[in-house]
Structures are given as C-alpha cells and as structure tokens.
Amino acid sequence: MLDTGKFRDLLENEIINFITNNEISIGFIIAIIIFIIIQFFQKFEYIHRHYANREYTKINNLLNIKENLSNIYLKELTQEVIDEYVFRVCTTISANKKLREIILVKHKENDIELFHFKRASRFFKLTDEGLKIEISKLDIFGKYFNYAFSIVLFLLVLYILILISLSENITLQKYLISLFLSCSFSIGALYILTQNFPLKSAIYLKEKLNL
C-alpha cells in the first residue's frame, strides 16, 4: 500500500501557508491532486481485492453445489450457470451460451481484444445466421453530437482560463469558482467523449468481422 505520510505533511504545510499568507500556491493545488489520486488508488486496490475474493468464493460454492447434486439435468444446469458466471467475471460480458461461443471463436480466430466485444455488446443482435451488429443513423448522429458538445465544453474551459490570466486582482472566491468550473467542464467533456467508445468498437467489429 502506498505511503501517504509525506503527502499529508506537504498538504499541511501548504494549508498553513494559505492561512498565513492568504494565497494559493501551485504546490497547494498539486498536493491536493496527488493526495486525492493516492487515496483513490488505495481504495480501488482494496475494493478490487475484495471483489476478486468474493467472486472466487462464489465460484467455489457453485462448484461444491454441482458436485453434491445427483440429478444429471440439475448438474448440467448448474454447469451452465458456472460457465456464464466465470465468463462474466473474466470478461465483464453477460452473455448466453451461444453468444459466449461466438465471442470466444471470433476473439481467437481474429485476435480481437475482448474489451471491444464488451463495449459493443449493446449493438449485438443474435440471429439464426449468427451474430449481427446493428448501427442506426441515430447512433451516428449521437457520435457527432458528442464530439461537438465536447468541443464546446473545451472551448468554455479555454475561455475561463483566458479570463483568469487576464484578470487583475482576482479574488480567491472567483479563482476557486473558475478552477472548479474548468475542472468540471473538462471532466464532462472527457466523459462525453467516452460515450463514443461503444460505437467505435461496434464499427471496428463490424468492419473486422464483416458483420
């Protein structure tokens, strides 16, 4: 686990400097950002480890249940549940047996990363002929809308930063508000851009697999 003692000391020193001198230094902002990032990764590491242990326990319990069953049909049904569960844990994709087999075959034969199937799963349609990927005109429109909206948000961030740099005697309150808005708009723009990832993967799979 990462040691946060030094960063806590740095943060305390910057807070004292802020209180005594009534000014925000770059070190203060960097210290806060570093501290938050470290805390986040520590919590994420703990959550991931806890989740992995819980999933391992569930799989073991299902295997024990299967071994204690005498009915062949129930054993097969339990095995299907285990297969689906293990597949979801390993790939984060929820899929029935037919779709699982298709994904694994396509993944192996075409050397395609599994995360593309995860992202594009909402565009999947199973037919008698196999897997199809359906992309509507609305999906294409949504892609360009997301790009346009993200550009607008980034321009707003640029506008705010220019105002801050040109302003004289800016108050602490206005500075913090501007900083908060800039960060919020930047995060919002990046989040909106990530909404195009599923469509991007769907287009990639459709072209790669001729679906």
Structural contact between residues 211 and 125, judged by C-beta atoms closer than 8 angstroms? no
Residue 50 confidence class, pLDDT cut points 50, 70, 90:
low
Per-chain mean pLDDT for the chain: 79
Structural domain includes residue 53: no
The mean pLDDT value for 53-75 works out to 73
What percent of the chain clears pLDDT 90, i.e. is strictly above it?
20
Structural domain includes residue 16: no
Our count of domains for the chain comes to: 1
- For 139-153, the pLDDT digits (tens) are 999 999 999 999 999
Task: Give the structural domain span for 170.
Answer: 113-210
Residue predicted with more confidence, 32 or 169: 169
Amino acid 1: pLDDT:
46
Structural domain includes residue 31: no
The mean pLDDT value for 139-168 works out to 89
The mean pLDDT value for 88-97 works out to 81
The mean pLDDT value for 75-97 works out to 81
The mean pLDDT value for 34-52 works out to 64
Residue predicted with more confidence, 17 or 99: 99
Give me the torsion for CA of 179, 185, 188, 190, rounded to 10°.
Answer: -90
Structural domain includes residue 117: yes
- For 116-145, the pLDDT digits (tens) are 998 998 899 888 888 899 999 999 999 999
Residue predicted with more confidence, 59 or 192: 192
5, two tokens: 């003692």
Structural contact between residues 125 and 134, judged by C-beta atoms closer than 8 angstroms? yes
Structural domain includes residue 4: no
Residue 11 confidence class, pLDDT cut points 50, 70, 90:
low
Residue predicted with more confidence, 86 or 189: 189
Structural domain includes residue 45: no
The mean pLDDT value for 49-76 works out to 72
Structural domain includes residue 153: yes
Structural domain includes residue 11: no
Q: Is the confidence at residue 210, as pLDDT, over 90?
A: no
